[in-house]
Amino acid sequence: MEHLHQSFTVQYNYNIFFTSSLFLPENELLSRFLVNLNPSVTVKKILFVIDEGVANAHKDLNTQIKTYFAKYSQTQLIQDILVIPGGEQVKNDTQYFDQVLEAINLHGIDRHSFVAAIGGGALLDMVGYAATVAHRGIKHIRIPSTVLSQNDSGVGVKNGINYFNKKNFLGTFSPPVAVFNDEVFLSTLSDRDWRSGIAEAIKVALIKDREFFEWLEVNAIALANRDPAAMNYQIWRCAKLHIEHIRSADPFENGSARPLDFGHWSAHKLEYLTNFEVRHGEAVAMGIALDTVYSNLSGRISAEDAQRVIFLIQQLGFELTHPLLQVIEGNSPILQGLEEFREHLGGELTITLLTGLGSGEEVHEIDADILKQAAAILNNQAAIIQH
Amino acid sequence: MEHLHQSFTVQYNYNIFFTSSLFLPENELLSRFLVNLNPSVTVKKILFVIDEGVANAHKDLNTQIKTYFAKYSQTQLIQDILVIPGGEQVKNDTQYFDQVLEAINLHGIDRHSFVAAIGGGALLDMVGYAATVAHRGIKHIRIPSTVLSQNDSGVGVKNGINYFNKKNFLGTFSPPVAVFNDEVFLSTLSDRDWRSGIAEAIKVALIKDREFFEWLEVNAIALANRDPAAMNYQIWRCAKLHIEHIRSADPFENGSARPLDFGHWSAHKLEYLTNFEVRHGEAVAMGIALDTVYSNLSGRISAEDAQRVIFLIQQLGFELTHPLLQVIEGNSPILQGLEEFREHLGGELTITLLTGLGSGEEVHEIDADILKQAAAILNNQAAIIQH
C-alpha cells in the first residue's frame, strides 16, 4: 500500500572552550558567545544553576557572576541564582528537577534564552534534562567543575535523571550549545575527585590512542601530584577523543553503535552495590584493571602490556579492585551485573576487550572461570601470569 | 583561547503508511515493519497505549491486537494493553504520563522495543513524550485515530504535556519510527471530529498549494457528507504538505523557522478561553476566516479570494467566528492573545497573512483597527467588502 516517506538531517554544532576564571570581568569569552548566538534575538536571559559543592568551595562565585553580567548586560542575568546539591542525590529525587523547571517558568526563560549549569556530572545531567524538555528545548550551557565532567560526561550529548531506582531511566540525547571548561574549579577538588576522573582518560587511551596512553605513563606522577599543566593537557586530549567518538559513530545511539565504555560494565554494578561510596572513576579504574587482566588471560594482550596498565593505575593512586568484584561460587554480584548489562543492551552482550595498548575489540561472551581468575589475580595484587 | 569544535548530523527517517484495518490478520504491514527494523535485535517487545474514546468505539480492538500478535509472534506483545482517557486532560494531569512510564518499566521495554499509541493528538503527544524520555528514547509508533492527527499533528515531530497550566511546557522534538494512518478509525468519529481536522487542510492549502485549495472547493460537499474516498485523499495530501514543510525548513525549530501556523494565533487563545469546548480545528477555521478577511482589508488579497475561503469554511459546516474573537474597547482577550503570542515567540511578533490562494507572507505588526473590522465583518456574517 502507498506511503509517504519522511527523511531529514539535523545539524548539531557546539564548542568546548578551555579557559581560566570564566567570570573575571576581563574575560569576554562567555559574554561574546551569548551575544553572538542568534544575534537577531533581542532579549536573551540566562539562568544559572550551581552545584552546592562548587558554591561552598568558591564563596564569591555568586557575586562574581552578578558583577560579570552587570558589565556584560546585553544578556539579562536572572538574579535569583539557584544553588542545588550535587552528586547522585540530585538525580535520585525529582524535587531538584522540578526546582529547575519552576525557575524556568517563573523567570520566563524561553527557547532563545539560556540555562547554564556549573557543577559535577550529576548536576549537569539533571539540569541538562530539565532544560531539554522545558519548552521542547531551552539552550543549555555546561560549565563542568570536576575532572570527570570536564574530560568525559560534560562534553557529551547525554543527560538524565534516575527514576524507579534506575540510573538514567529518564533522559535524552541533547547537545549543549556550549561547554566551558574552567580550570579554576579543579583547584579546589579533593584528591579523590582530582584523581577519579583520570580513569576515563586511561579508558579512552587504551582503546583509541596508544600515544596518549604513553603520555599518561610519563605524566602519571605529575598528575598524581596535582600538576595543573599536566591536568589541563589530560582533559583537553581526553575530551577531544570523546567528542571525536561521538561524531564518528552514532551520536544518539539510534543503531547498535557502542558508547566508549571499556571497563564500565563491572564499574556500574560496583558503584550501585556500594551505594556510590566508590566513586565512578574509582570503579572504572577497577573495571579497567579487571578487563585488562581478562584480555591477557584470554590471549588478547601480552602480560607485559597488562602489567603496564596495572602499574599506571597504581601510580595514579587508584585501588586495583574491590571485594565485591570477586567471582565466588553461587550468587556472585559481579556475574549478576554481567547479566543485567546483557539485558540493558537488549539481549546480546557486547563487551570491549583490549587487543593492544590503544586498540580494542567487541566480544559477546565472557568466560566466568577466566573472569574469576582475573579478579583473583588483582585481589592478590599478584603479578600478571605470563600467557 | 583554544577550543574544540563538535559538529555532526543526525539522520531521521520514517514512513507514514496508509492502510485499512491495521490489525486484520491478513494485513502484514505492521508486523513486517516491526520485524524489518533492526533485524539483528533478537527480542523486540511492543506495548500498546489506547485512547479510551477509541477503545469504546471499537470494542474488539483489544482482542484484534492480541489475535494479530498471536499470529505474528516475532514481536512480543505486552498483553497488558493500557487504556487511557483521550483529550486535553491526558496532557494536563501527569498521572497518565507516569502510568505509561510505569508500564515501560514494569514490562522491561528497552530501546530496541516499541511503544505504540492509538488515539487522538493529545494522547499521541503524551505517549510520544513518555516514550522519548524513557531510557533516552524508546522507538515510538503513532497510530492516529482522528482526522486532525492523521493529517497534521500525528505525522510530525513534536510531542509534549502541559505543566504549570502551560500548553506543551514539557516536550521534545522527536520523530516516531513510523506512523500508521488507518481509515477504519475515522468511520466512528462524530461529525464534529470528522469535520474539525479539515481546518488544517484549508490552512496548509491556503499558504502552500492553490491546487489543493481548489480540490477542497470541489470536494467540500463530499467531505461534509463523510465520503471516505474524499477524506482519504484530503488526509494524504495534507500529511504530505506537512511533512514536506518539516523537511524543508528547520525540523526541530532550532533557528527562527516558523511552523505552519496560519490562522493559529487567535485559535490557541480561543481554545483556552472556552476551556477547549471549541475544538482545535473549529478554532483554527475561525482563525483562518479572521486572518483571511484581515488579509483582504490590509490589501493583500482580493475580496473575491477572501469570499472563496469564507464560502469553503461554511460549506464544510464550520462556524465563522466566536464572540470572544471580537475586538472590543478596553480589555479584549484577542488583543491579549496577540501579545501572548509575541511573548511566546521571544519578542518579535510574526504572523502569516495571505497574499493569494496558495501563498502567504510573514508580517510583524497587526493593526488593531483592521483586526476589529475583520472580526466585526465575520460577526455580522456580512459579505466581504470590496477592497
Helix (H, G, I), strand (E, B) or coil at B379: helix
What pLDDT, on the 0 to 100 scale, is given for residue A339?
A: 86
Task: Give CA–CA dist B226/A250, Å, rounded.
Answer: 46
B52 grid coordinates: 479510551
**Are B270 and B295 in the same domain?**
yes
Residue A384 in domain: no
**Cell numbers placing A78:** 536572572
How many angstroms separate the CA of residue A255 from the nearest CA in chain B? 8
Are the beta carbons of B344 and A110 separated by less than 8 Å?
Answer: yes
Q: CA torsion A338→A340→A341→A343, rounded to 10°? A: 130
Q: Please tell me whether residues A202 and A328 are part of one structural domain.
A: yes
**Which residues in chain A have Cβ-Cβ distances shorter than 8 Å to B28?**
none
**Cα angle value A266/A272/A276 (rounded, 5°):** 110
Residues A52 and A124 in one domain: yes
Q: What is the H or E stretch that residue A9 is in?
A: strand A3-19
Percent of residues, chain B, with pLDDT higher than 70: 97
Facing A346 at nearest CB: one of B29, B110, B132: B110
Do residue B169 and residue A1 have CB atoms under 8 angstroms apart?
Answer: no
Residues A111 and A242 in one domain: no
What is the structure's pLDDT at A347?
67
The angle, 0 to 180 degrees and rounded to 10, between the axes of the packed helices A198-208 and A210-224 is: 160
B178-185: average pLDDT: 98
Q: What is the pLDDT of residue B36?
A: 94
Q: How far is B23 from chain A (nearest CA, A)?
A: 15
**B43: closest chain A residue by CA:** A347
* Residue B386 in this model has a pLDDT that exceeds 60: no
Give, in order, the Cα–Cα distances in Å from A351 to each of A59, A238, A295, A341, A373. Answer: 44, 21, 11, 9, 18
The whole-angstrom distance between A285's CA and the closest CA on chain B is 26
CA–CA dist A191, A223 (Å, integer): 11
Chain A interface disruption, residue of B6, B29, B341, most A CBs within 10 A: B6
Would the pLDDT of B1 be above 70? no
B44-51 vs B114-119, strand pairing mode: parallel
Cell of B197: 481536522
- B64 confidence band (pLDDT: 50, 70, 90): very high
Within 10 Å of residue B99's Cβ, how many Cβ atoms?
16
CATH of the domain at A237: 1.20.1090.10
Strand pairing category for B139-144 and B161-163 = unpaired
Contacts of B191 (CB under 8 A, 6+ apart): B226, B317
Q: Point out the least confidently predicted range of B39-43, B160-164, B324-328, B332-336.
A: B39-43
Full residue range of the structural domain in which residue B218 is found = 192-379
Measured CA to CA, the distance from residue B381 to residue B383 in angstroms comes to 7
The number of distinct structural domains making up chain B is 2
Does any domain span residue B385?
Answer: no
**Does residue B345 belong to any structural domain of this protein?**
yes
Chain B residues whose CB is inside 8 A of the A101 CB are 163-164, 169-170
Three-state SS for A26? coil
Inter-chain residue contact B29 with A1, CB threshold 8 Å: yes
| B267 in a structural domain | yes
Q: Which one, of A325, A318, A207, lies nearest residue A266 by Cα?
A: A325
The domain boundary, picked from B189, B214, B249, lies at: B189
Query: With an 8 Å Cβ cutoff, are B253 and A136 in contact?
Result: yes
HSE-CB at A125 with a 13 A cutoff on CA atoms is 27
Q: Over chain B, what is the mean pLDDT?
A: 93
Q: What is the pLDDT of residues A240-275, one digit of tens each?
A: 999 999 998 788 887 766 778 899 999 989 998 998
Give the start-end residues of each E strand in chain B: 3-19, 44-51, 75-77, 82-84, 114-119, 139-144, 161-163, 166-170, 178-182, 351-356, 359-363
Residue B167: pLDDT over 70? yes
What value does the mean pLDDT of chain A take? 93
Mean pLDDT computed over B97-117: 96
Please tell me the total number of residues recorded for chain B in this structure: 387
How far is it, in rounded angstroms, from Cα B313 to Cα B260? Answer: 19
Residues B213, B185 within the same domain: no
Q: Can you tell me the distance from the alpha carbon of A317 to that of A224, in angstroms, rounded to the nearest whole number?
A: 7
Query: Does the structure's ipTM exceed the value 0.90?
Result: yes
Q: Which residues in chain A have their CB less than 8 angstroms from residue B2's CB?
A: 18, 236
DSSP A256-301: SPPPS-TTHHHHHHHHHHTTT-S-HHHHHHHHHHHHHHHHHHTTSS
CB within 8 Å: B16 and A6: yes
Q: What mean pLDDT comes out for the span B206-222?
A: 98
Same domain assignment for residues A237 and A185: no
Could you tell me the three cell numbers for A376? Answer: 583473583
List of chain B residues whose C-beta atoms are within 8 Å of the C-beta of residue A173: 136-137
- What residues have CB less than 8 Å from B330, skipping those under 6 apart? none
- Tell me if A15 and B29 make a contact (CB, 8 A cut-off): no
Closest-CA distance of chain B to residue A372, Å: 29
pLDDT in tens, A366-376: 999 999 999 99
Domain finish residue from B189, B211, B230: B189
Chain A residue numbers with beta carbons less than 8 Å from the beta carbon of B101 are 163-164, 169-170
Q: Are residues B238 and B198 in the same domain?
A: yes
> Which residue in chain A has the smallest CA separation from B139?
A254
Asked if residue A157 is part of any domain, the answer here is: yes
Per residue in B78-96, pLDDT (tens digit) is: 999 999 999 999 999 999 9
Query: Which residue of A125, A136, A164 is the best one to mutate when testing the B interface, meaning the one whose CB has the most B CBs within 10 A?
Result: A136
Q: Report pLDDT for A345.
A: 73
Asked if the structure places residue A67 within a domain, the reply is yes
Domain identity same for B57 and B120: yes
DSSP helix/strand/coil, A8: strand
Please answer yes or no on whether B42 and A348 come within 8 Å at the CB atom.
Answer: yes
**How buried is residue A337: exposed, middle or buried, by Cβ count under 10 Å (0-12/13-18/19+)?**
buried
Q: Residues B35, B49: one domain?
A: yes
Domain boundary (B156, B189, B222) is at B189
- State residue B387's pLDDT score: 41
Pull the grid cell for residue A147.
Answer: 575532572
Residues A255 and A183 in one domain: no
Give the integer Cα–Cα distance in Å for B322 and B339: 19
Nearest Cβ partner for A240 among B4, B16, B251: B4
For B265-296, give one letter per residue: b (16+ CB within 10 A) or e. Answer: bbbbbbbbbeebebbbbbbbbbbbbbbbbbbb
The residue type at A340? E
CA distance A207 to chain B (A): 21
B11 bridge partner residues = A9
User: Do B125 and B97 belong to one domain?
Assistant: yes
Test A346 with B113 for CB contact under 8 angstroms. yes
A101·B346 Cβ contact <8 A: no
CATH number at residue B164: 3.40.50.1970
User: Do residue B181 and residue B206 come from a single domain?
Assistant: no
Q: Decide if A250 is inside a domain.
A: yes
Task: Quote the CA–CA distance of B35 and A317 in Å, as a whole number.
Answer: 50
Contact residues on chain B for A135, CB-CB shorter than 8 A: 168-169, 171
**List of chain A residues whose C-beta atoms are within 8 Å of the C-beta of residue B152:** none
Q: Which residue numbers in chain A have pLDDT < 70?
A: 1, 256-257, 346-347, 382-387
Average pLDDT over residues B147-174: 94
d(CA A26, CA A379): 52
A9 in a structural domain:
no
